[in-house]
Amino acid sequence: MTSERPLRVAIIGAGPAGTYAADILSKTELQVSIDIIERLPAPFGLVRYGVAPDHPRIKQIIVALANVLGRGDIRLLANVNVGTDLTLKDLEEHYDAVIYATGSFRDANLNIPGIDLEGSYGAADFVSWFDGHPDVPRTWPLDAKEVAVFGVGNVALDVARILAKHPKDLAPTEIPSNVMEILENSPVTDVHIFGRRGPAQVKFSPLELRELGHVPDVDVIVYPEDFDFDEGSMELIESNRQAKQVTKTLTDWTLKEPTGASRRIHLHFLQSPHEILGEDGKVTGVRVERTALQGDGTSKGTGEFIDYPVQAVYRAVGYYGTEIPGVPFDDAKGVIANEAGRVVNNGDVVPGVYATGWIKRGPVGLIGHTKSDASETIANLVEDADRLYAESKAGAEQRSPDNILRLLVDRGVDVVQWHDWEVLDEHELALGEAAGRQRVKVVPREEMTNIALKRN
């Protein structure tokens, strides 16, 4: 394949999905010029804004992502929002191909009565708050003594742990100062996590679950009556190492006596959310239905209901992708409509438009899945390269990397490039060092951009 110029590719989103896609594309036989366009002033997506601050081990993924973004062959254009700062027409004019790696950061719906009561929240919103996301409010109403969390994945564990953990045990982390102040005044004593199936079917990772048992002055309480293992459960435990480790940890906890800790996390299985109870428009409790395993690992309601008094509810039942106006979207799945990463509209491939990561396949899987996901999308882009060159609506001059940056500057967009992010990064690390912490995150968007662009 020959061309007079590099293939210009825009990747929308600087989280793991977008960064891995850029890295894989840069190592193909194609001559490419890659821009990663990110709507926030900081890169790294959910690793920065979706991983709990007391999990620095997971945040080490940032080191690998930074090695890619800091190499110099991939350009970061952060603090740029596709849809306002750049239109889809702009992307079409300045790039031969666009890869959407925008992820899933909204809460999936849970359609039960009372879900809209005051005191009912989405876990993703709460995570964004305690991770210092610049586009969410800086306050959060933590006034409940008893809290329910619906869901049995790692996000549910993060929510429960942050709610129950004493703030002094979070102090060494990068948790924002405004979050610490509010957590210090939280009256919480009990957090209840509910799962509709049995212990074998939970989605906790073994390590995250074990860590829950080591939170100071927090008892984890598991109820023997919530344990059942049908034939499907036993097959899963025998065939899946993760399920075996998780069920062993949970089973061991049924034998532990509470220590009298000041806070408790209760794990309830075979209990399905039925209704959020309320008075005067506020949450006062939850009603769950006892379920029974059906032999194949699925569960069914028994008609027996249990009420728990709680004053707040968090749904951690999954994430949902955000639609980008003008890009075909599958509402049922919450993803950009695509076939193996090629975006489709009513079954027809949209030339030069691709997707990768959670916005391609839904919010499932770990970082390793994101890499294989990106490989599939990039392989298809490489296969399409000749056609992309042939159908290009502009020549080398129009596709010059300088043009898109000039366009953004002319529109008054405060573009944060990699060297600007390094300034902000060093600033946050210095704040952390002065406070004896890992990092102190700068939260307000304007302050982030001012520091990055050296306008203070």
* 360 burial via Cβ count (<10 Å: 0-12, 13-18, 19+): buried
Answer yes or no: are the C-beta atoms of 242 and 209 closer than 8 Å. no
Measured CA to CA in angstroms, residue 338 lies from 16, 27, 100, 269, 361 at distances of 19, 24, 11, 36, 9
| Residue 101 DSSP one-character state | -
Specify the residue for token string 């005051």: 118
Pick from 354, 385, 338: nearest CA to 12: 354
State how far the Cα of 259 lies from the Cα of 246, in Å rounded to an integer: 22
pLDDT single digits (tens) 272-329: 999 999 999 999 999 999 999 999 999 999 999 999 999 999 999 988 898 899 999 9
Task: Domain ranges for the chain, please list them.
Answer: 7-105+320-416, 109-317
DSSP for 19-32?
A: HHHHHHHHTSSS-E
Q: How many CB atoms neighbour CB 56 within 10 A?
A: 15
The CATH number of 109-317, from 3.50.50.60, 3.40.50.300, 3.20.20.140, 1.10.4030.10, is 3.50.50.60
The crossing angle, in degrees rounded to 10, of helices 241-254 and 231-239 is 120
Look at the pTM and tell me if it is higher than 0.85. Answer: yes
Specify the residue for token string 């590719």: 9
Two structure tokens written together for 62: 């940032």
pLDDT single digits (tens) 73-111: 999 999 999 999 999 999 999 999 999 999 988 888 899
At 108 the pLDDT is: 86
Pick from 178, 174, 140: nearest CA to 159: 140
State how far the Cα of 113 lies from the Cα of 301, in Å rounded to an integer: 17
State how far the Cα of 26 lies from the Cα of 17, in Å rounded to an integer: 14
Answer yes or no: are the C-beta atoms of 100 and 356 closer than 8 Å. yes
Measured CA to CA in angstroms, residue 261 lies from 80, 184, 411 at distances of 47, 17, 56
Measured CA to CA in angstroms, residue 75 lies from 15, 19, 61, 421 at distances of 14, 11, 20, 12
pLDDT single digits (tens) 135-187: 999 999 999 999 999 999 999 999 999 999 999 999 999 999 899 999 999 99
Residues 6+ apart with CB under 8 A from 114: 120, 275, 276, 277, 278, 283
State how far the Cα of 336 lies from the Cα of 358, in Å rounded to an integer: 9
pLDDT single digits (tens) 339-395: 999 999 998 999 999 999 999 998 876 676 788 899 999 999 999 999 998 887 555
Check whether domain 7-105+320-416 has CATH 3.40.50.720, yes or no: yes
Measured CA to CA in angstroms, residue 115 lies from 125, 151, 283 at distances of 15, 14, 9
Measured CA to CA in angstroms, residue 325 lies from 93, 124, 332, 364, 441 at distances of 17, 22, 16, 24, 31
Two structure tokens written together for 331: 């509402």
Residues 6+ apart with CB under 8 A from 98: 9, 10, 11, 12, 91, 92, 352, 353, 354
| Residue 416 DSSP one-character state | B
State how far the Cα of 325 lies from the Cα of 102, in Å rounded to an integer: 13
pLDDT single digits (tens) 160-174: 999 999 999 999 999
At 2 the pLDDT is: 47
What mean pLDDT comes out for the span 28-50? 95
Pick from 317, 363, 340, 374: nearest CA to 103: 363
pLDDT single digits (tens) 102-132: 998 888 889 999 999 999 999 999 999 999 9
At 207 the pLDDT is: 92
Pick from 83, 155, 19: nearest CA to 327: 83
State how far the Cα of 101 lies from the Cα of 415, in Å rounded to an integer: 19
Quote the distance between the C-alpha of residue 10 and its chain's center: 22
Pick from 426, 429, 423, 428: nearest CA to 443: 428
Answer yes or no: are the C-beta atoms of 408 and 86 closer than 8 Å. yes
